[in-house]
Amino acid sequence: MFSLTNKIAVVTGAARGLGLTIAIELSKLGAKVIATDVDVNQLEKSAAENKEYNLDFMELDVTNVSDIKSVMESINSKYGGIDILVNNAGILGSMSIEEMDKEKEWDRVLEVNLSGTFFVSQGALPYIKESKNGRIINISSVSGRNGGFESPMSYTAAKGGVVALTRGMARHLAPYNITVNAVCPGATETEILKGFTEEQLQSILQYLLLNRLGKPIEVAAAVCYLASDEAGFVTGLMLDVNGGGYFG
């Protein structure tokens, strides 16, 4: 089950952390994975440290539409298509409602997390349409489902937008046999948690039934399922991987 042999997968925000874990797990199932990120130095470091996996690393700025188009064209030309897209690139932000600055945080967080998800999907779509079983998997958040516990409103709004975008794209792309789903993690042991204080983390844990942080591999496993042929009848789903932090 869950063989991704001969599949071409693109993962954004994959130089480190959750994105890199997702890329590695997809490659273990047989996919050829192009791990993209705006951080060139970290891409080079991760490439050197993960040579045993079927990964290629490529620079991509998800806020630059012309860059997205160029990179997707390059991937299609080199690998002969795109079967799976994982929109993982995201940033957190830190400002409270009272402090929120439009230029310093609000616009930037929505540009990366929400606009990036849409425009990368748009750029990859001509090639995913050519796949027999196209998959788009967006990484949202429990914050986008219930308003979050300690997340800034810029992040919450962006991830809520990803939820709505996932459902809309699922409707529009179903005629092409492309499934569109989202994974909604809770607090997970990644770089993004460095923006939280110990008090904030403890506040989050009290709302999680399992009373612990998630692990990147647990989120990656959900992505692998949604990328598989076995998930071919699943679309428009928000798959919660958050320790009981959201019941719907």
Strands of the sheet with 135-139, listed across from one edge? 55-59, 32-37, 8-11, 84-87, 135-139, 179-185, 238-241
Q: Alpha-carbon distance 185 to 163, whole Å?
A: 12
CA–CA gap between residue 146 and residue 244 (Å, rounded) = 12
The tens-digit pLDDT sequence of the chain (248 residues) is 789 999 999 999 999 999 999 999 999 999 999 999 999 999 999 999 999 999 999 999 999 999 999 999 999 999 999 999 999 999 988 777 678 788 788 999 999 999 999 999 999 999 999 998 999 999 999 999 988 776 789 999 999 999 999 999 999 999 999 999 999 998 888 877 776 788 878 888 888 899 898 999 999 999 999 999 999 999 999 999 999 988 75
Contacts of 151 (CB under 8 A, 6+ apart): 92, 141, 143, 159
- The Cβ of residue 48 has, within 10 Å, a number of other Cβ atoms equal to 9
- Residue 74's alpha-carbon distances to 20, 60, 247, in angstroms, are 21, 11, 41
Alpha-carbon span 37 to 1, nearest angstrom: 29
Would strands 84-87 and 8-11 be described as parallel, antiparallel, or unpaired?
A: parallel
Q: If you search the block for the tokens 């080079």, which residue do you land on?
A: 44
Q: Known catalytic residue: 246?
A: no
Specify whether domain 8-240 bears CATH 1.20.1730.10.
Answer: no
Instruction: Return the structure tokens found at 119.
Output: 């425009």
Concatenate the DSSP letters of all residues of 103-165 into one string: IIIIHHHHIIIIIHHHHHHHHHHHHHTTSTT-EEEEE--THHHH--SS--HHHHHHHHHHHHH
Angle at 146 between CA 178 and CA 183, to 5 degrees: 30
Distance, CA of 199 to CA of 100 (rounded, Å): 21
Identify the active-site residue in 127, 155, 207, 246. 155
**Going by DSSP bridges, is the β-strand pair 135-139/84-87 parallel, antiparallel, or unpaired?**
parallel
If we measure between CA atoms, which residue out of 240, 228, 114, 134 comes closest to residue 182? 240
